[in-house]
Structure 1
Amino acid sequence: MTGKPIRDERSVRNRIAKLNQATKVLSDPSSAPTHVRSLHIFDRSPRAKRLFNTRDGRMLNIAVDHGIFNDGRFLAGIESMSDVLKVLVQLHPNSIQLSPGQAHLLLTASQAAGSPVPALILRCDVSNVYTAKFPCLPFCELQNDNIIEEAIRLDAAGVICTLLKLPEDAPGAVEIHKQTVRNVCTLRNACTKWNMPLIVEVLAVKWNDTKDSFVLETDMTITAPLARLACELGGDILKCDPPANIQDVKTILHVCQPSQVLLRGSDKGDEESMIEDARKFIEMGAAGLVYGRSIVHHADPSVFTRQIQKAIHGD
């Protein structure tokens, strides 16, 4: 027998208490002592505090970086970014996601609307994989070698890039996966230097014969390991698509600890179903939700956004 023997009842009780505390922390990281919670990005980075609601540690992110992907379908409703941002800043999201060429409009839109400036999340990569017909030579590249310095100049509170996985028989599947892994690693190094929160968008796709195009992959045997890879590569925050079975959200959250997980807001079904899904995602432990066209294209963005914010923050 090795190790120090248990000598008395007090030692047994102390060890049981420590095991109980460890189990509680695994299921609810917010219950951890301060020195343990400091491992989380919210407590490690001043910029991360700007991304999240300081009261509950949750986030509503509105993504309007669709123009960077060079597909005309994505431009509907965001043709004039100045006008779009004037509306969005008045909705008071925690953060807005933009590409470098549009990011400067966030400040001017906030000033014009007389609204606080939401935290900026800067898109760092550009890809051609979102087109209607999948390209023969897919790519996903960082926009430039000094993108983190540019993010700092633009006063970004976080940066985002994609970790992509295509079906194994898709053209260029291995190479684009390698590219995106390389992108995450490159950004991780630069983000560590400048204490910039790194958000990794986890994206797996599959071929759909009916639509004759790629669609989101919902098989947990593919998406859960990819999300874990994003965590292993150093993603502070992960953006994931919701699984087909809403109960599988718990699996995603579990395998990605201690990274914070944002879920793309549901865009299926009627509005009431979308809001109910938002509530369930948060109740299961998601750190926040990401919406884009669901808000931009809504007939009354302010009403819909308030309902989503209530689901996230309970206000």
Structure 2
Amino acid sequence: MTGKEVRLNRLFKHSERMIIVPLDHGVSVGPIQGLEDIPKLVKQVNKGRADAVVVQKGLVPQIKDYLGGDGCELIVHLSASTALSPNSNRKELVATVEQAIRLGATAVSIHVNLGNSHESEMLRDFGKVSNRCDQWGIPLLAMMYVRDGSNNNEFDWVKLKHAARVAEELGADIIKVNYTGNVESFSEVVNAVKLPVVIAGGPKTSSVKDLLIMINEAIRAGAKGTSIGRNIFQSPDPEKLVRVIRQILDSKMTNEGIKELARTL
């Protein structure tokens, strides 16, 4: 077993499906509601049995007591842009694989926006990062979005199928994409690659029920887990919500069963 395989197994520490909680939003949109106390939040999602958290490098010292062993695995995010920029969809590398290793990361992640005018630079960075990940045996989570100016295209299964394939062919180990809206079309995305696919949470949903149904449908389509941020960290009880998501990931449930489960939150 290679070092990368060992680390990938750590990311599936609770079951065959993973819960990743991205907490890198402070760079892109600032210290929004839910991100006021990152250590407390990591402690909560860890108790809920999340597998990993995604943070920028500067936050790692704050959460070190809740990482590894019985704690969450650490994924260091290498990409950044801010909502203050005239082109916030242009992601730049702000950390290296080597820095992530020194911080104790189990994996690293990058963000790529396809269809953007700076797509070529982001793909170039993807290639460089994946090469370094192979050199050091570090898994790479590729967050793949279609950001060509059309909101509808962000959830278009044909385009997301292409995005997933780009990630696979450029050396990702786990692929994160938006959910397409139904089991049939998302199955097309999942089946386009041989790698684990996890779903993004997107903007905060209008109800917990909608979020849980989305997760359940994605699992039925073949997804290997979730990478959901604000719908978790802006929840009134992140620990309890993560526990419920874990239950959905590890059980076969109908949408009617999901609705009953949502009433407990």
Under TM normalisation by the shorter chain, which class is it? 0.7 to 0.9
Q: Which runs of 5+ in 2 are unaligned?
A: 253-265
Indicate whether 1:52 and 2:12 are aligned: yes
CA root-mean-square deviation: 2.7
Partner of 2:71: 117
Write the deviation string for residues 135-170 of structure 1: whole angstroms up to 9, x where unpaired: 2585321114xx11111111111111012123xxxx
Aligned-pair identity (%)? 23
Q: Which runs of 5+ in 1 are unaligned?
A: 1-37, 167-172, 209-213
Give the TM-score, by structure 1 length.
Answer: 0.72
Q: Note if contact 1:119-1:157 (Cα within 8 Å) is conserved in structure 2.
A: yes
Write the deviation string for residues 58-113 of structure 1: whole angstroms up to 9, x where unpaired: 101111111122x23x62221232332232322221111111000222223469xx
Give SS of 1:61's match: strand
Give the TM-score, by structure 2 length.
Answer: 0.84
Give SS of 1:78's match: coil
Amino acid at match of 1:139: R
Which of 259, 273, 276 is the equivalent residue of 2:195?
259
Partner of 1:162: 111
Partner of 2:154: 217
Per-residue deviation at 1:44? Answer: 5.5
Amino acid at match of 1:184: F
Q: Note if contact 1:162-1:201 (Cα within 8 Å) is conserved in structure 2.
A: yes
CA 1:299 to 1:215, structure 2 compared with 1: closer, same or farther past 3 Å?
A: farther
Partner of 1:64: 23
Per-residue deviation at 1:186? Answer: 0.5
Which protein has the larger Cα radius of gyration, Structure 1 or Structure 2? 1
The equivalences for 1:131-150 within 5 A come to: 131=83, 135-136=86-87, 139-144=90-95, 147-150=96-99
Separation (CA, whole Å) in 1 of partners of 2:108 and 2:85: 26
Separation (CA, whole Å) in 2 of partners of 1:83 and 1:216: 36
Separation (CA, whole Å) in 2 of partners of 1:189 and 1:291: 27
Write the deviation string for residues 44-66 of structure 1: whole angstroms up to 9, x where unpaired: 61111110136x42101111111
Q: Note if contact 2:89-2:113 (Cα within 8 Å) is conserved in structure 1.
A: no
Report how many residues are paired.
Answer: 251
The equivalences for 1:206-245 within 5 A come to: 206-207=148-149, 217-245=154-182
Q: Which structure has the higher relative contact order (CA within 8 Å, separation 6+)?
A: 2
